[in-house]
Amino acid sequence: MENIFQLVRNVIPPLAGKKHKGQDGRIGIIGGCQEYTGAPYFAAITALKVGADLSHVFCTKDAATVIKSYSPELIVHPVLDSPNAVHEVEKWLPRLHSIVIGPGLGRNDVLLENAKGIIEKSKVKGIPIVIDADGLWLISQQPSLIQGYQRAILTPNYMEFSRLYEAMLRDPVDSNDHHGCVLRLSQAMGNLTVVQKGERDLISDGEKVLVCSHEGSSRRCGGQGDLLSGSLGVLAHWAFLAGPEKTNGYDCISDSSSQMNPLSLWQLLQKCCQNPFLVAAFGACSLTRQCNNQAFQKFGRSMTASDMVSEVGTAFNKLFET
Ligand SMILES: NC(=O)C1=CN([C@@H]2O[C@H](COP(=O)(O)OP(=O)(O)OC[C@H]3O[C@@H](n4cnc5c(N)ncnc54)[C@H](OP(=O)(O)O)[C@@H]3O)[C@@H](O)[C@H]2O)[C@@H](O)CC1
Ligand SMILES: Nc1ncnc2c1ncn2[C@@H]1O[C@H](COP(=O)(O)OP(=O)(O)OP(=O)(O)O)[C@@H](O)[C@H]1O
Ligand SMILES: [Mg+2]
């Protein structure tokens, strides 16, 4: 596990005086509706606290003021239920490094249709897409929407995994073979990265399975998955930059890691994981579990997702900057 932590550390861009605002990540969260305003907030604020420079939330009109009132740091666009929602989000896509689709999206048909349009536009632009929560509901209805798009990462919880698995494999999940199930689901989706959250998180690209069993706690309040998808939005972008075709990434990484040149980092990523998204997912899972662990030590049973958000900075430092 320590080797994978090292890989996560290596894709984190250095803090440097010459950088401009936005360079370390502009992340978009697609979600937030009348019922759910907490989920997109948790994802978006976590993205910022992990180290993104700007975090945008694209939500419905009635959710926007509520989400803005939680935090002045978020940029909130009340467009998701507008008649030209896809176009309104598309205008921003060239400025976004990754998007997270689904936290608090809800299951309203119009919103799901708009989410579908946003996924299609993002695919054309090659943007990394994390799909969580109701975004996964959409995918289990229409898997072809994301099947084979290797810049997508799915982050299902127990129920979301079962729904996706049954939709794709036409079989119930085999509770004696979690490894096999996550491998098969990833393969059926065209080898995109699948993060099966649970007591142990299983992360697969259809070839390998990484296990994250970093210590969390037994407190299971809502919103923890939203921290995970928000942090993964940033880490997926950073890991993607470490890819060989990204000169910018090479520059970033050669700055950050004096012992390891960019080529050897890429070779290490290939050798150990092949897919840098596996490294990103491992980073997001271990960070979420560390936040849970720290917050639980302070608050015990009263711990909530907001308490975990307050731990992101120290958890990140402990795991990745020591
Ligand atoms: N503050 C906010 O705004 C938050 C908003 N959120 C938003 O809510 C939306 C819906 O998301 P979701 O995760 O609640 O929906 P879904 O996948 O249908 O699961 C629901 C049911 O699955 C079951 N279940 C779950 N785990 C299980 C297990 N291990 N083993 C067995 N069963 C298990 C369990 O069923 P039950 O125990 O009730 O029978 C549970 O009730 C989505 O937009 C999301 O982002 C959340 O992010 C939280 C914070
Ligand atoms: N039994 C468990 N023990 C330890 N950690 C767990 C357990 N179940 C889930 N987790 C961790 O909690 C985080 C969120 O997973 P969870 O299954 O709660 O997501 P979720 O249902 O999508 O959450 P949300 O309420 O945000 O929608 C993950 O980092 C996962 O590793
Ligand atoms: Mg969830």
Given a cut of 60, whether residue 105 has pLDDT beyond it is yes
| Cα 157 to Cα 52: distance, rounded to the nearest angstrom | 25
End-to-end CA distance of the chain: 16
Q: Which residues, in sequence order, are CB contacts of 285 under 8 Å at separation 6+?
A: 195, 197, 201, 203, 212, 214, 228
pLDDT in the model for residue 223: 98
Residue 8 domain-assigned (yes or no): no
Look up the pTM and report it: 0.93
Do 194 and 204 contact (CB within 8 A), yes or no? yes
Q: Could you tell me the two tokens for 280?
A: 């990103």
Average pLDDT, the chain: 92
| Cα 236 to Cα 12: distance, rounded to the nearest angstrom | 10
Residue 6 domain-assigned (yes or no): no
Ligand 1 binding pocket includes 32 (Cβ within 6 Å): no
Ligand 2 binding pocket includes 197 (Cβ within 6 Å): yes
The residue segments making up the domain with residue 136 are 20-321
Q: At 218, is the pLDDT very low, low, confident or very high (cuts 50, 70, 90)?
A: very high
Pairing state of beta strands 152-154 and 193-196? Answer: parallel
Q: At 275, is the pLDDT very low, low, confident or very high (cuts 50, 70, 90)?
A: confident
pLDDT in the model for residue 257: 42
| Cα 167 to Cα 91: distance, rounded to the nearest angstrom | 33
Least trusted range by pLDDT, from 49-53, 168-172, 251-255 = 251-255
Question: Phi and psi dihedrals of 195, rounded to 5?
Answer: -115, 105
Pairing state of beta strands 26-30 and 75-78? Answer: unpaired
Q: At 322, is the pLDDT very low, low, confident or very high (cuts 50, 70, 90)?
A: confident
Q: Read off the pLDDT of each residue in 224-245 and give the average, rounded to a whole number.
A: 90
What does the DSSP 8-state code read for residue 86? H
CA of 156 to the centre of ligand 3 (A): 7
From the list 90, 95, 73, the residue with the least C-alpha distance to 22 is 95
Q: Which residues, in sequence order, are CB contacts of 278 under 8 Å at separation 6+?
A: 193, 203, 204, 205, 208, 210
The half-sphere exposure of 157 on its side-chain side, counting CA atoms within 13 A, is: 16
CA-closest residue to ligand 2 atom 12: 224
| Cα 270 to Cα 96: distance, rounded to the nearest angstrom | 26
pLDDT in the model for residue 236: 98
pLDDT in the model for residue 254: 37
Q: pLDDT for 1-51, tens place per residue?
A: 668 999 999 999 999 889 899 999 999 999 999 999 999 999 999 999 999
CA of 320 to the centre of ligand 1 (A): 30
Residue 13 domain-assigned (yes or no): no
Residue 236 domain-assigned (yes or no): yes
Number of domains, the chain: 1
Residue 11 domain-assigned (yes or no): no
Question: What ligand has the least distance to the C-alpha of 228?
Answer: 2
Residue 104 domain-assigned (yes or no): yes
Tell me the β-bridge partners of 212.
201
CA-closest residue to ligand 1 atom 40: 159
- Three-state DSSP at 75 gives strand
Q: Could you tell me the two tokens for 172?
A: 């119930």
- For residues 62-74, one letter each, b for 16 or more C-beta atoms within 10 angstroms of the residue's C-beta and e for the rest, the string is ebbeebbebeeeb
Least trusted range by pLDDT, from 12-16, 106-110, 139-143, 270-274 = 270-274
Do 83 and 114 contact (CB within 8 A), yes or no? no
Choice from 59, 159, 226, 307 to test ligand 1 binding pocket (greatest atom count within 8 A of CB) = 159
Within 10 Å of residue 267's Cβ, how many Cβ atoms? 13
pLDDT in the model for residue 270: 55
Q: At 295, is the pLDDT very low, low, confident or very high (cuts 50, 70, 90)?
A: very high
Residue 264 domain-assigned (yes or no): yes
Given a cut of 90, whether residue 252 has pLDDT beyond it is no
Given a cut of 50, whether residue 255 has pLDDT beyond it is no
| Cα 213 to Cα 79: distance, rounded to the nearest angstrom | 38
Given a cut of 80, whether residue 269 has pLDDT beyond it is no
CA of 253 to the centre of ligand 1 (A): 38
Stronger pLDDT, 18 or 224, i.e. the higher one: 224
Q: Is 218 annotated as a binding residue?
A: yes
Q: Could you tell me the two tokens for 270?
A: 């290939």
Residue 36 domain-assigned (yes or no): yes
Stronger pLDDT, 260 or 319, i.e. the higher one: 319
Q: Is 201 annotated as a binding residue?
A: yes
Q: What is the CATH classification number for the domain harbouring 137?
A: 3.40.1190.20
Can you tell me the ipTM of this complex?
A: 0.95
Q: Could you tell me the two tokens for 82?
A: 């507008």
CA of 86 to the centre of ligand 1 (A): 27
Least trusted range by pLDDT, from 20-24, 59-63, 80-84 = 20-24
